[in-house]
Each structure stands twice: as C-alpha cells, then as structure tokens.
C-alpha cells in the first residue's frame, strides 16, 4: 500500500504525499482547517489538542483519547479520527458538550475541546463510570480558569448517555476499518513513512534502513520534532504490526511485545503486582498511556523512565532483534551509560520477559514526583526480596533518577543478605552519587531513595503503618 488511509466523518480519506514527520495537529489545523482542536503546550502535557482515535476491536470500535500534537499524521492509518468539530449534529450539541454547558464547565474555553474529547472517549468505554474514572480520565487535561468540579460533574452526567451516532455505527465502522490492511510504504528511499503490518516485516525493514527513525508511540519522538525541530525524513512505525504488541502469559512469566502500550499492559502487569499496575497509572496521563509503549520506554534509555527500574528488580530479560537474528540480555545490561544503550542501528527492542514474583518473594515499587498525576519521576525505586526462614536470602533493588542510567543498588543488595527485614532497617544506601537538577536536589534524591528502601523493608516485615519520616 502506498497511500495513507483513514476514516473521517464516515468517509475514507486517502493521502498519497506528505512529509513523514507531519504531526496530526499540524494537519488538522493547517491542512484540514479544523481549528476546534487547539494547540497549547505542543508537548503532550496540557491536553488542549486531544482527539479520539477509533481502532477495530473484536467487531466493535475501541475509542481512545490521544494528544494530536505528539502523534504523527501517519499513525492514524487504518483508524477512525474524531475531533471536537465533528460532535454536534444538525445544530444539536453532543451529550458531552451539552453536559459541559449544563454544568457551567467552561470559561475561556481554550482547554474545553480537549476535555470534551477526553470525556467523549470515556463515554464510549461501555462500562459503568465512577467519579474516580472521570478524574483519572482528565488528569492530562489542564484547565486554569474553570476549576475541575463542574467539569467532573459534566463528565459523570455525560458518561451515562453514550448512545450516540458513533455507538450505533460501530459495527459498520469496524468493517470499514478492517478493510484498510497491508504493509504501508509512502515515499521513496530518501524520505518515507513505513508501517509494516507484521513484526517479521518490521524487523527486515529496520535492518534494511538502519538510518531510519523507529517510532512506536511517538511520545518522545514527537518532542524531538516539535521542540528540538529535528526533521525525521525516514520513519519506520511499529504500531501497525499487531503481533509486535502481544502480551503472552506463560504462567511463571509474562512475554511483553515491545509495541505493547501502557494501556495494553495494565491488566497483565496487575497480575504481577498491584504496585506495578499502580505505577502504570502514574505514567503520563491516559492520552500518553494510549500511545506510549513499554519498548519505547526502554529503548529511549532515559535515567528517569519508569519501567526499567521495576522490570530490572523483577529480573526481566530483554530480547533484541536485527533482521532475522535475535539476542537476549539482562535488562540492566542494556543501559551502558547516560545516552548510550547496547543497541545497534536498525536493531529493535523486540520483547521483554518478566518473571512473576514467587510465593517467597515480595515485590514493590514507588515513584516520587512533585505532583501525583502526569509527572516525571524525581526518584523511582523497585524492590524484590526473597525471604526464607524470615531472612532475606536474595535482593534485587533498582532505582531511576539516582544515576545516568536506571541502575541496581548491588552493594545494598549484598548488605541485606542474611538479615531479617527488621534487622536490615538500619542499612543506608551506599550505591549512588545522584545529581541535582530541576526535578530534585542530590540531597533530596538520597533521602527519598533511603526512605523508599525502608518502606519496602517495612512492607516485607509485614508492618502495616507505613509512614516513613524523611
Ligand atoms: C506528557 C508526557 C508524560 C510522560 N510521562 C512519563 C512518565 O510518567 N514516565 C515515563 O517513564 N515516561 C514518561 N513519558 C515519556 C514517554 O511517554 C515514554 O518514555 C514512552 O514509553 C516512550 O514510548 P514511545 O512508544 O512513545 O516511544 P517513541 O517516542 O516512539 O520512541 C522513543 C525512542 O525509542 C526508540 N524506539 C521506540 N520503540 C523502539 C523499539 N521497539 N525498538 C527500538 N527502538 C525503539 C525511538 O527510535 C526513540 O529513540 C512522558 C512523555 C510525555 C510526552
Ligand atoms: S498541545 Fe498540549 S498536549 Fe498537545
Ligand atoms: S476554560 Fe479556560 S483554561 Fe479551561
């Protein structure tokens, strides 16, 4: 297939020529001239640009809110695109819009289109929606003048009434979306957007064009394009290869395809530990979690990415793939130094195997940020203790935000062996020399990292009052 295709307002849109790094928001506002969708931060934080994408899913359409500012136009291939300009029909507001009016939930209105689209997607989740669901849904939408109570009220009222045009047309839309299939390659060898439809084809293409940018959710790459003005003339998108996002439960471990998004991984991670699914809930907001992938979080090598410390503590194995050849390594060995990972050009982060904690193991993890929702970690700590006869016989401890890479605290791990969790409480971390930056001072990081260790030991000791004094 050599043209981008997606469904818009009931019609198939086909685009044969476009710059590979065109963002969806840019296309909407400058080409389509649909200006209801707003540009605020242009980096995925404010939600003013929220639109909804529909994906076929078992005979229905799954609707998800995403940030159009950090999504490539071409990522909507094979999807239905819905924006705020589409909701009112025949001069009658959509129930979500009407609820916003009824609840007096808008003042200046700049943020309102984004809230409406976030709530629109929530209203199509086909489940009973609670106040907490609404709060979580709009955590990635900032409003600085109305105040959130009326918006939450509007959300609760609107989510009772999703029996709209989209709801009724789901089966038909699903059939139309399913008809858009096959490997996509638009452009030529000098400038292209490619979206292979299988993981095998994806691996072959990445090996053929090692200089191309691999894009998964684009939640990091989008910022290179928007904020650093780094042109991306050759893009290979992983998101069309459904088998690249598969999560398989093997009983004692999970195999997670690198293309699995945070939303996709939520349920499976919950089987390992409620702390792990709780951690996923605190990554970005729902728009970011619908796009961002586990593989992208590892591949970007960030010292403050949230997945690596948790998966390192659990003893995860990372699989990399270059063309037909695959290699495996301990996840911690992938991170060589700040900005340097053990990955050659054209090599894909392929899958991650994550062991489940055994009955004599206790896992927990915690993320420390300045605000609860939609914030990047200052420090992230993850702990796995193996306990026999009340003593710690093995420990895996990993931190983010304490060094130039996600890193194990090997000295501290060794110091814990042979002690009961209570006996180990006096141990002080001696593995890191953290830096001060805009997120936290070195002193704060050290203090908080110790507090997290002690909290984990208290949990292992079965203490219920987990107040830690830092
Ligand atoms: C508003 C906002 C909030 C965020 N909050 C958090 C947070 O709380 N915690 C956190 O950890 N991160 C956060 N992030 C960062 C980002 O969302 C995550 O790192 C995400 O997991 C990146 O995945 P992606 O699929 O979007 O990666 P992309 O942007 O597509 O790619 C990131 C990098 O990885 C490479 N890459 C992607 N997939 C592969 C692959 N399979 N193989 C090889 N290379 C690959 C790309 O070439 C690029 O270098 C946030 C980002 C935004 C914009
Ligand atoms: S413009 Fe702020 S999230 Fe897109
Ligand atoms: S209504 Fe003004 S910022 Fe939300």
Domain boundaries, the chain: 4-94+164-178, 244-355, 361-460
- Atom 3 of ligand 2 has which residue's CA nearest to it? 44
Q: Is the C-beta atom of 380 inside 6 A of ligand 1?
A: no
pLDDT at 114 (0 to 100): 98
CATH architecture designation of domain 4-94+164-178: Roll (3.10)
Ligand 1 atom nearest 295 alpha carbon? 41
Going across the sheet that includes 379-388, the strands are: 361-368, 379-388, 391-400, 407-408
pLDDT at 160 (0 to 100): 73
The model's pLDDT over 404-429, given as tens digits with 9 standing for 90+, comes to 999 999 999 999 999 999 999 999 99
Please enumerate in sequence order all residues whose Cβ is within 8 A of that of 278, keeping only pairs 6 or more positions apart, or say none: none
Distance (Å) from CA 139 to ligand 2 centroid: 13
Residues counted in the chain: 470
The model's pLDDT over 111-143, given as tens digits with 9 standing for 90+, comes to 999 999 999 999 999 899 999 999 999 999 999
Q: Is the C-beta atom of 41 inside 6 A of ligand 1?
A: no
- Torsion, Cα 117 120 124 125, to 10 degrees, reads 70
- Atom 4 of ligand 3 has which residue's CA nearest to it? 143
Considering the chain, what percentage of its residues have pLDDT values greater than 70? Answer: 98
d(CA 164, CA 149): 25
* Pairing relationship of beta strands 80-82 and 335-337 according to DSSP bridges: unpaired
- Pick the ligand that lies closest to the CA of residue 66: 2
Q: What average pLDDT is seen over the chain?
A: 95
Measured in Å, how far apart are the chain's first and last C-alpha atoms?
A: 58
d(CA 395, CA 361): 9
Q: What is the mean pLDDT of residues 447-469?
A: 84
Q: What angle do CA 37, 38, 44 make, to 5 degrees?
A: 105
Cβ(409)–Cβ(432) below 8 Å? yes
The CATH number, out of the four listed (3.40.50.300, 3.30.465.10, 1.20.140.10, 3.30.379.10), of the domain defined by the range 244-355: 3.30.465.10
Closest CA to 221 of 242, 238, 208: 238
pLDDT at 326 (0 to 100): 98
- Is residue 466 predicted with pLDDT exceeding 60? no
Tokens of 92: 């009658």
Phi, psi of 139 (to 5 degrees): -65, -25
Q: What is the mean pLDDT of residues 230-240?
A: 97
d(CA 212, CA 325): 19
CATH superfamily of 361-460: CO dehydrogenase flavoprotein, C-terminal domain (3.30.390.50)
Q: Is the C-beta atom of 108 inside 6 A of ligand 3?
A: yes
Cβ(291)–Cβ(71) below 8 Å? yes
Given ligand 3 and candidates 144, 147, 149, 155, which is best to mutate, with the most ligand atoms within 8 Å of its CB? 144
d(CA 402, CA 189): 42
pLDDT at 373 (0 to 100): 87
The model's pLDDT over 287-313, given as tens digits with 9 standing for 90+, comes to 999 999 999 999 999 999 999 999 999
pLDDT at 162 (0 to 100): 66
pLDDT at 469 (0 to 100): 46
The model's pLDDT over 163-222, given as tens digits with 9 standing for 90+, comes to 899 999 999 999 999 999 899 999 999 999 999 999 999 999 999 999 999 999 999 999
pLDDT at 464 (0 to 100): 63
Q: What is the pTM of this model?
A: 0.96
d(CA 122, CA 162): 9
Ligand 1 atom nearest 376 alpha carbon? 8
Please enumerate in sequence order all residues whose Cβ is within 8 A of that of 351, keeping only pairs 6 or more positions apart, or say none: 255, 256, 257, 258, 319
Burial of 165 (0-12, 13-18, 19+ CB in 10 A): exposed
Distance (Å) from CA 301 to ligand 1 centroid: 9
CA 241 distance to own-chain centroid? 17
Ligand 1 atom nearest 221 alpha carbon? 29
């Amino acid at each position: 297939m050599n043209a981008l295709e997606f469904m818009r307002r009931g019609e198939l849109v086909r685009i044969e020529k476009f710059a590979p790094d065109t963002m969806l928001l840019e296309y909407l506002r400058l080409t389509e001239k649909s200006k209801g969708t707003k540009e605020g931060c242009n980096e995925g934080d404010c939600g003013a640009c929220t639109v909804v994408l529909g994906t076929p899913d078992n005979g229905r359409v799954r609707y998800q809110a995403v940030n159009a500012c950090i999504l490539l136009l071409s990522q909507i291939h094979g999807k239905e695109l819905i924006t705020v300009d589409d909701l009112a029909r025949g001069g009658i507001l959509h129930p979500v819009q009407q609820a916003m009016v009824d609840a007096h939930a808008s003042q200046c209105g700049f943020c309102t289109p984004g809230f409406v689209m976030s709530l629109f997607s929530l209203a199509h989740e086909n489940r009973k929606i609670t106040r907490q669901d609404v709060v979580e849904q709009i955590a990635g939408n900032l409003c600085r003048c109305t105040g959130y109570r009326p918006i939450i009220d509007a959300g609760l009222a609107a989510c009772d009434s999703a029996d709209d045009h989209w709801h009724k047309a789901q089966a038909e839309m699903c059939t139309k979306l399913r008809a858009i299939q096959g490997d996509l390659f638009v452009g030529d060898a000098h400038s292209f957007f490619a979206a292979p439809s299988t993981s095998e084809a994806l691996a072959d293409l990445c090996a053929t064009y090692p200089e191309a940018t691999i894009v998964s959710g684009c939640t990091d790459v989008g910022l290179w394009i928007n904020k650093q003005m780094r042109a991306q003339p050759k893009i290979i998108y992983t998101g069309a290869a459904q088998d690249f996002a598969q999560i398989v439960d093997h009983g004692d471990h999970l195999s997670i395809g690198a293309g699995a998004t945070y939303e996709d991984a939520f349920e499976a991670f919950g089987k390992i530990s409620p702390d792990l699914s709780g951690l996923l809930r605190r990554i970005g907001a729902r728009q970011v979690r619908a796009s961002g992938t586990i593989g992208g979080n590892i591949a970007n090598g960030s010292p403050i990415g949230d997945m690596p410390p948790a998966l390192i503590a659990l003893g995860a194995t990372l699989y990399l793939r270059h063309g037909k050849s695959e290699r495996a390594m301990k996840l911690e060995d992938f991170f060589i130094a700040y900005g340097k990972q053990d990955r050659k050009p054209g090599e894909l982060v392929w899958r991650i195997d994550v062991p489940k904690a055994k009955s004599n193991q206790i896992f927990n993890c915690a993320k420390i940020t300045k605000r609860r929702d939609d914030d990047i970690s200052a420090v992230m700590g993850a702990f796995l203790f193996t306990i026999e006869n009340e003593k710690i016989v093995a420990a895996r401890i990993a931190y983010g935000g304490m060094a130039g890479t996600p890193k194990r605290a090997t000295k501290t791990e060794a110091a814990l062996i042979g002690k009961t969790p209570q006996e180990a409480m006096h141990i002080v971390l001696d593995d890191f020399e953290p830096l001060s930056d805009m997120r936290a001072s070195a002193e704060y990081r050290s203090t908080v990292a110790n507090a997290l260790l002690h909290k984990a030991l208290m949990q292992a000791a079965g203490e219920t009052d987990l107040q830690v004094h830092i």
